[in-house]
Copies of this chain bind each other. A is one copy, B any other.
Amino acid sequence: MELWFSENHTEDVKLSLRVNRQLYSKQSDYQRIDVFDTPEFGRVLALDGNIMLTERDEFIYDEMIVHVPMAVHPDITKVLVIGAGDGGVVRELTRYEQIRRIDLVEMDELVVEACRQYLTDNACRLDDERVHIYFENGLKFIRRCEEEYDLIIVDSNDPFGPSEGLFTREFYGNCYKALKKDGIMVNQQGSPFYAEDAHAMQRSHKRIASTFPISRVYQAHIPTYAAGYWLFGFASKKFHPIDDLDSAAWNAHHLRTRYYTTRLHIGAFYLPAFLERMLEEVE
A residues whose Cβ falls under 8 Å from a Cβ of B: 6, 10-18, 38-41, 60, 193-194, 219, 221, 223, 227-229, 257-261, 263-264, 266-274, 276
Q: Report B-chain residues with C-beta under 8 Å of the C-beta of A229.
A: 221, 223, 228
A264 x B258 contact (CB < 8 A)? no
SS class, residues of chain A in contact with chain B: mixed
The copy count of this chain in the complex is: 2
A58 CA to B227 CA, complexed, in Å: 14
B261 x A274 contact (CB < 8 A)? no
A266 CA to B268 CA, complexed, in Å: 10
A223 x B193 contact (CB < 8 A)? yes
Partner of A263, one of B60, B228, B270: B270
B276 x A271 contact (CB < 8 A)? no
Question: Whole-angstrom distance from the CB of A111 to the nearest CB of chain B?
Answer: 25
A282 CA to B219 CA, complexed, in Å: 27
A227, closest chain B residue (CB): B223
Partner of A267, one of B227, B270, B273, B274: B270
B272 x A269 contact (CB < 8 A)? no
A193, closest chain B residue (CB): B223
Question: Whole-angstrom distance from the CB of A153 to the nearest CB of chain B?
Answer: 20
A194 x B40 contact (CB < 8 A)? yes
Partner of A259, one of B11, B261, B274: B274
A272 x B266 contact (CB < 8 A)? no
Supply 17 further A-B pairs (C-beta < 8 A) apart from A12-B40, A260-B272, A261-B276.
A11-B39, A12-B38, A13-B15, A13-B40, A14-B15, A14-B16, A16-B16, A40-B194, A223-B229, A258-B273, A259-B272, A259-B273, A264-B271, A264-B273, A266-B270, A267-B267, A267-B269
Q: Report B-chain residues with C-beta under 8 Å of the C-beta of A11.
A: 18, 39
Q: Report B-chain residues with C-beta under 8 Å of the C-beta of A14.
A: 15-16
Question: Whole-angstrom distance from the CB of A216 to the nearest CB of chain B?
Answer: 13
Q: Report B-chain residues with C-beta under 8 Å of the C-beta of A263.
A: 270
Partner of A17, one of B13, B17, B221: B13
Partner of A272, one of B227, B228, B264: B264
Q: Which residue, A15, A17, A229, A273, has most C-beta atoms of chain B within 10 A?
A: A273
Partner of A228, one of B227, B270, B276: B227
A150 CA to B226 CA, complexed, in Å: 38
Are A266 and B267 CB-contacts (below 8 A) given A223-B193, A228-B221, A258-B274?
Answer: yes
